[in-house]
Amino acid sequence: MEKFEVIVVGGGLAGLSAAYTLAKEGVEVLLIERGDFSGAKNVTGGRLYLNPVRSLLPELWAEAPLERYVGQETITIMGEAASVSIKLSSESFRNEPRHSYTILRSKFDQWFAERAAEAGAMLVTKQKVDDLIWEDGKVAGIVSGEDRIQANVVVAADGIMSLTTERAHLREEQKPRDFAVGIKEIIELPAKTIEERFNLGDGEGAAQMFMGSLTKGMFGGGFLYTNRESLSLGLVVGVADLMAKKPPVEAPELLEEFKSSKEIAPLIRGGETVEYSAHVIGEGGYKATPRLYSDGILVTGDAAGLNLNTGITVRGMEFAIASGVFAARTIKLAKEANDFSRTSLAHYQELMQDSFVLKDMRTFRDAPSFLENPRLFSLYPQVVCETLEKLMTIGEGPKGKLSSTAMREIRRKLGWSWLNELRGALKI
């Protein structure tokens, strides 16, 4: 029976970070990816917050295929017949080192896979892991078709629906409310057209988040990121809300309506859709994370539920990279001690707890509960749009005080219940 020191299941950012770091340290590692290539199945919107992971893999970023640094942030609240946008254009975002970049995961992951292979990792694609090998109650390898391959440690990096984590008995039964469906299109446009439409400088990019009527009152929202010569456009809708919606609504139909809206149609005019993808996304936050380690196994990235949606930022890629690096560091120490038990691998949990990953996940642990409020995606956006419309409309008669007009509109439409919901918002 063939054996490797480490087997990594999944070739996304977490798996590649683990494999690359291990290979650089001289650890024998096999990475198995189910897709045709790393990045083939990814539906991430396409934004990497670089500052948290810059020092973890410092040698990579100068050559990494990053698209545009984000110099502009926009949040758009969509009502039924109006929308409100808040735009932040910041010089601090434009200064070096840039804090975030848009990326195309298909391109980025393939490039990262090449770096991992160059470092010495063995990568196998188009291969599915079917089960785990157990010896004396410990994970001791994987089963792939008719192949049984042993390992000292298996790294689960196989995404939010991780079968590896499930078969290792590290995750409790998952609930529909902990997931959303993400749908994304890549729309090609010339670089000059993108820069003119979004008022961008050379190499500069924009990120825009949308909430409100586009999801028909369901949990979720839209996103748009500018790449060098394309736009990443998509939306996310809660699985539980889609299941409960009467009459049923198909997520692809919502995306088509979103594309034809007055907020989006002018931005994508003349573009050609060259890629379409859909996938399940984790939304459970800190409370939905599984156990991260056991005898002979570590759990990373999406498989560990390392996704964080606060309503104005959506994070996950930097969590995945960091978790892969910390898993590799833990395994290196375990190899030196020749101890791959849960006691030894518990060091991974310590590294994660001391890092920005679990600190940020804990800080915003109440965000998923707050975002379950359906009024955030229906009534509140409508009230914001209608109130601003009232404030900015000049009628035939005298105009009332702005403060009185605003409070009257808010009380009439929301009563005083919004105060309790504001207290919930302050928790995040």
Q: Are strands 47-49 and 204-212 parallel, antiparallel or unpaired?
A: unpaired
Q: Are strands 314-315 and 308-309 parallel, antiparallel or unpaired?
A: antiparallel
Residue 137 sits at φ, ψ, to 5 deg, of: 75, 10
What's the pLDDT band for 418 if we cut at 50, 70, 90?
low
Q: Given this model, what pLDDT does residue 420 score?
A: 67
pLDDT digits (tens, 9 = 90+) for 57-115: 999 999 999 999 999 999 999 999 999 999 999 899 999 899 999 999 999 999 999 99
In CATH, the architecture of 177-282 is: 2-Layer Sandwich (3.30)
Q: Given this model, what pLDDT does residue 427 score?
A: 64
Sequence ranges of the domains in the chain = 2-65+103-172+290-354, 177-282, 374-426
At residue 120, does pLDDT exceed 90? yes
At residue 419, does pLDDT exceed 70? no
End-to-end CA distance of the chain: 51
Q: Given this model, what pLDDT does residue 426 score?
A: 59
Q: How far apart are CA 142 and CA 359, in angstroms?
A: 32
CATH number 1.10.10.10 given to 2-65+103-172+290-354: no
Q: How far apart are CA 61 and CA 49, in angstroms?
A: 12
Residue 116 sits at φ, ψ, to 5 deg, of: -65, -40
Q: Are 2-65+103-172+290-354 and 177-282 in the same CATH fold? A: no
pLDDT digits (tens, 9 = 90+) for 294-347: 999 999 999 999 999 998 899 999 999 999 999 999 999 999 999 999 999 999
Q: How far apart are CA 405 and CA 383, in angstroms?
A: 13
Mean pLDDT computed over every residue of the chain:
93
Q: What percent of the chain has pLDDT over 70?
A: 97
Q: Helix or strand or coil: residue 418?
A: helix
Residues 237/105, Cβ–Cβ less than 8 Å: no
At residue 377, does pLDDT exceed 90? yes
Q: Given this model, what pLDDT does residue 407 score?
A: 74
pLDDT digits (tens, 9 = 90+) for 4-47: 999 999 999 999 999 999 999 999 999 999 998 887 777 677 89
Question: How many other CB atoms sit within 10 Å of the CB of residue 398?
Answer: 5
